[in-house]
Amino acid sequence: MPSSKKTEEFIKLYDDMADQLFRHCFFKVSNRELALDLVQETFSRTWEYIASGKKVNNVRGFLFKVANNLIIDEYRKKKVVSLEKLQERTGFDAPVQDHKKTMFSVEVDNILKHINKLDKKYRDVILMRYVNDYSPKEIASILGESENAVSVRINRGLKKVQEMINVHTSDL
Amino acid sequence: MKRRLELLQQESLQAALYDEERHMMREALLDYIHQNPAPSASYRSTGRSTFLKRNRNRLLVMAIILLAVASVVFTAQRSAPGDTLYVVKRGVNERAQGMFAFSAEAKARHQVGMMEHRLVEVIELDASGTLTPERHEALRADFKDHIGVFNTHLKSLIDTGKEQNIAKAALVNAYFNTTLNKNARGVRFFLDINTQTIVQ
């Protein structure tokens, strides 16, 4: 018999984390359907791992790791259109609660374009900080790094974004 | 820049699951969980279960070793001179019992217990027709040693000069005599040994 307590705990985890994981996947794969599949697969695999009796200390970090691995797998399959290309083509297309498709504001669209030009190590922490609204401490916990290292990386990443914006503005 | 980041934070929140998507995914996940139950799984494992999981094999080996040792000790307790496990009985069991005798009175009583073991052993060996001269001699020597040690402890009680300790010595001596009387059949095998104590 499955433990109802464990099931309840895991479903509560789903309720808490589903949107955050969806956002994380969506901003990386820029494909809503694919992001949904990735979230579903992330939770299924995490449960499978727990059901096999293995221990998970930081379950939120574990969910993000599973999601990131699945995203990498998708990139390897070359099924994903890069965010940058998508933005260049049409502007970023975001899903909204009222089922209407809306565009991000020009300013947000612009800053996202620059963020996605950053190296992965800067891009990931900035997206987690400003898209998922995690504190540096939470990001550090998820990535298994120090809070200080995460804060430094966010600041350096933002400086690079600022430089890109400045160059872009001066070109106009 | 700051304003742009604030806008990004606000507008990012629009990227969320629709209610029906969240509900459907939740139902699909529940189905998956019921198909793949986890009776003892938890991502919030307690220290106890983790310890048991990690050390399961070691604990199993330790339990087997303890069981084996307990079996040997228990079987050795019934062994007689000449048996393989008699060494364990004398070297481990009886020595271990003696370790818990701290006072002179307790040590003297322990020696009486050992004497009774030797008396019972000689009776049993004689009854089974296996009391060889070597075994007889070995038991006789041990019995004599026990009486010697017993007398030493008895003397140390009396030498204190305290009435309380002298009374204790008398009681232990009575216990000694009772044991000899109870195993009189065995005592006849050690007739050459002086069983008179300093109290008598």
> What's the mean pLDDT when you consider all of chain B?
84
Task: Name every chain A residue with its beta carbon within 8 A of the beta carbon of B43.
Answer: 9-10, 13, 50, 55-57, 59, 62
pLDDT at position A46 is 92
Closest chain B residue to the Cα of A40, Cα to Cα: B25
Tell me whether residue B95 is exposed, middle or buried, using C-beta atoms within 10 angstroms of its C-beta: 0 to 12, 13 to 18, 19 or more.
Answer: exposed
Would an 8 Å CB–CB cutoff place B43 in contact with chain A?
yes
In this complex, do B41 and A19 lie within 8 Å of one another by their Cβ atoms? no
What confidence tens digit (pLDDT) does each residue in B26-59 have? 999 988 888 887 655 444 444 445 566 667 788 8
Q: Which residues of chain A have pLDDT under 50?
A: 1-2, 79-80, 89-90, 94-102
Is the CB of B33 less than 8 angstroms away from the CB of A102?
no
Please report the pLDDT score of residue B50 as a whole number: 58
Give the Cα separation of B50 and A89 in Å (integer): 52
Q: Does the distance separating the beta carbons of A40 and B28 come in below 8 Å?
A: yes
Phi, psi of A103 (to 5 degrees): -95, 155
pLDDT (0 to 100) of residue B51 = 64
**B28 and chain A: CB distance < 8 Å anywhere?**
yes
**pLDDT bracket for residue B12 (50, 70, 90):** confident
pTM of the predicted model, to two decimals? 0.48
Distance CA A13, CA B194 (A): 83
Q: What is the mean pLDDT of residues B53-76?
A: 84
Q: How far apart are CA B160 and CA A45, in angstroms?
A: 78
Cβ–Cβ under 8 Å, residues B80 and B124: yes
pLDDT for position A4: 75
Contact A23 B12 (CB under 8 A): yes
- Chain A CB within 8 Å of residue B41 CB: yes
Chain A residues with CB-CB distance to B31 below 8 A:
none
